[in-house]
Structure 1
Amino acid sequence: MFLKIGLAIISTLILSCGTTEKQTQTTSTEETTSAGEVIDPQKLMAEGYMLGTVVYSDKEGDCPYTIQMPGDKMEFYYLDPINLDESFKKDGQKVWIKFSGLRRMNRCDKATPAEIIDIKKGG
């Protein structure tokens, strides 16, 4: 009995003492847009930008263009940008935005009205 326990302890010690080699991994935190502009996501987040995705819908009761945003408790939520520029109205377009929520009646069922303060194309 003591022999089995002793062997188990010794083998555990031997296996745990194996060398672990640190692997260095270089990851780039920068993205580039289709125009070749370099975007640093950490810098944008520090400046108050959030990454979202433009979503087009032609369903009744939906806004034509919304921006899908990551949420805390929910998986995501939608913004109804009242001043979305035509150049950003592309389904699936990733965008970095600064926005302000609006206290006004919703134009569509699923999205919250918002005013875009600044917007940049995402990677």
Structure 2
Amino acid sequence: MFLKTGLIIFSTFILSCGTTEKQTQTTSTEGTTTNQETVDPQKMMEEGYLLGTIVYSDKEGDCPYTIQMPGDKMEFYYLDPINLEEAFKVDGQKVWIKFNGLRRMNRCDKATPAELVDIKKGG
């Protein structure tokens, strides 16, 4: 009993000690390097954003672009964004998103249809 309670308190403490530092992104174009300040992950989560990864697929039955989202127990689920802008169609790009699930037929086998309410580049 005490072991479980102690483990829960310890886990809560460890998870709440996450970093709240802002991440910076360095880009380099033709000899010039610029630092762009990206969003604070803690702030984004507080505002209701979720971090996902753009995934490209050319397999039959798959959507060309999906967003891989973290799920329970270290598993993933995929969203099929019906309104993904061209600027975000980059395989492996991290994005912060807010979305609404859609009640419609799936366009592909592995992903659930979703409408993106807002999307921002992730870190």
Q: Same fold (TM over 0.5)?
A: yes
| Root mean square deviation of aligned Cα | 1.5
The 3-state SS of whatever aligns with 1:36 is strand
Q: Distance in 2 between matches of 1:101 and 1:28?
A: 29
Q: Which runs of 5+ in 2 are unaligned?
A: 1-18, 28-34
Question: Counterpart of 1:39 in 2: which secondary structure?
Answer: coil
Deviation at 1:107, TM superposition (A): 0.1
Task: Name the CA distance, whole Å, in 2 between partners of 1:86 and 1:113.
Answer: 18
Calculate the TM-score normalised by the size of structure 2: 0.74
Residue 28 of structure 1: how far off its partner (Å):
5.7
Cα deviation, 1:2-55, whole Å, max 9, x if unaligned, reads: xxxxxxxxxxxxxxxxxxxxxxxxx56322245713310000000000000000
- Give aligned-pair identity as a percent: 79
Structure 1 spans left out of the alignment, 5+ residues: 1-26
Q: Decide which structure has greater strand share.
A: 2
User: CA–CA distance in 1 between the matches of 2:97 and 2:67?
Assistant: 10
- Equivalences, count: 97
1:32 to 24, 35, 40: 24
- 1:72 shift after superposition: 1.5
